[in-house]
Chain A
C-alpha cells in the first residue's frame, strides 16, 4: 500500500502560535516515530509510539511539545507557543512492530516548519 504520509508539507507560522503536524503511517505498522532534522543538529529522535501509547518520550525538547496517536494509526505532533529554534524538518517513520528492534523504519517526506 501507500507509504508514510505527512501533512502539511510546509508550514510557516509566527512566533508564539501553536502548530499541529500530522503523520499517517503505513497500514498495519504498530510502531510510529517522530524525528526532527535541524541545521547543525542532524536528525534527532523525539518520541516513539507502540500502538496508542508512548513508552519513550525522551527526545521531546520541552513541555511545549506533545504528541498523540489515536486508533493505532494517525499521529499528531503539537508544538505550543512556537519559537524560532523550533524551525526544522519534522520527520515521521513507522515500522511493523517497535517491540522488535530488528524492524526496518520507513520515513515520510517530512514537514518543513518555519517560525518567523
Chain B
C-alpha cells in the first residue's frame, strides 16, 4: 500500500528565504506526482505535476523535483512571500485508476 509522508508538519520562515518542502513515498512505481496548495477553508490548487519519466517541473518561483527510485520529491520555493503561507500537499498516482494518495501536508507560514 502506498504511503506518502511529509515532514515537518509545519514550518515558519522569514520573508525572502528560499525553502524546500520534502515529500517521500514508499512505492516507487508511480505514474505521476502532484504538488497542491490549500488555503484555509478552501479547495486544492494544483501547483505542479511531474510525470514519472520527468525529473523536475518549474512554474515561476516554484520548482519541483522527483527522484522516483528513492521515493522522494522536493518543492523548492524561491524568495518566499507572506502570500505563500498555506498548506502544501504532495500526492502520487500509483494504480491504474489514477486515484491520488496524499501526504498530510506541510503548513507553511512566511513571516513579514
Q: Is B99 an interface residue (CB 8 A)?
A: yes
Q: What 1/0 mask marks residues of chain A from 97 to 116 whose CB sits below 8 Å from any chain B CB? A: 01011111111111010000
In the assembly, what is the distance between CA of A103 and CA of B98, in Å? 8
Q: Is A73 an interface residue (CB 8 A)?
A: no
Q: Which A67-85 residues have C-beta < 8 A from chain B?
A: none
By a CB distance below 8 angstroms, the chain A residues around B103 are 42
B101 smallest CB distance to A (angstroms): 7
By the criterion of a CB under 8 Å from any partner CB, how many residues of chain B are at the interface?
27
Q: Is B10 an interface residue (CB 8 A)?
A: no
* A48 B44 Cβ-Cβ under 8 A: no
Q: Is B34 an interface residue (CB 8 A)?
A: yes
B89 smallest CB distance to A (angstroms): 7
Q: How many residues of A sit at the interface, in one of the four size bands?
A: 20 to 34
In the assembly, what is the distance between CA of A103 and CA of B47, in Å? 14
A8 smallest CB distance to B (angstroms): 14
By a CB distance below 8 angstroms, the chain B residues around A55 are 97
Assuming the A-B contacts A109-B42, A110-B43, are A33 and B105 also in contact, with contact meaning beta carbons closer than 8 angstroms in the complex? no
Q: Which B95-112 residues have C-beta < 8 A from chain A?
A: 95-105
In the assembly, what is the distance between CA of A104 and CA of B98, in Å? 9
* B36 A107 Cβ-Cβ under 8 A: yes
* B89 A43 Cβ-Cβ under 8 A: yes
Closest to B102 in A: A43
By a CB distance below 8 angstroms, the chain B residues around A110 are 42-43
By a CB distance below 8 angstroms, the chain A residues around B43 are 4, 91, 107-110
* B98 A95 Cβ-Cβ under 8 A: yes
Task: Beyond the given A91-B44, A101-B97, A110-B42, please list 14 additional residue pairs across the A-B interface where CB-CB is below 8 A.
Answer: A31-B98, A33-B99, A35-B100, A43-B91, A44-B102, A45-B99, A95-B98, A98-B98, A101-B32, A102-B31, A104-B46, A105-B46, A107-B44, A107-B46
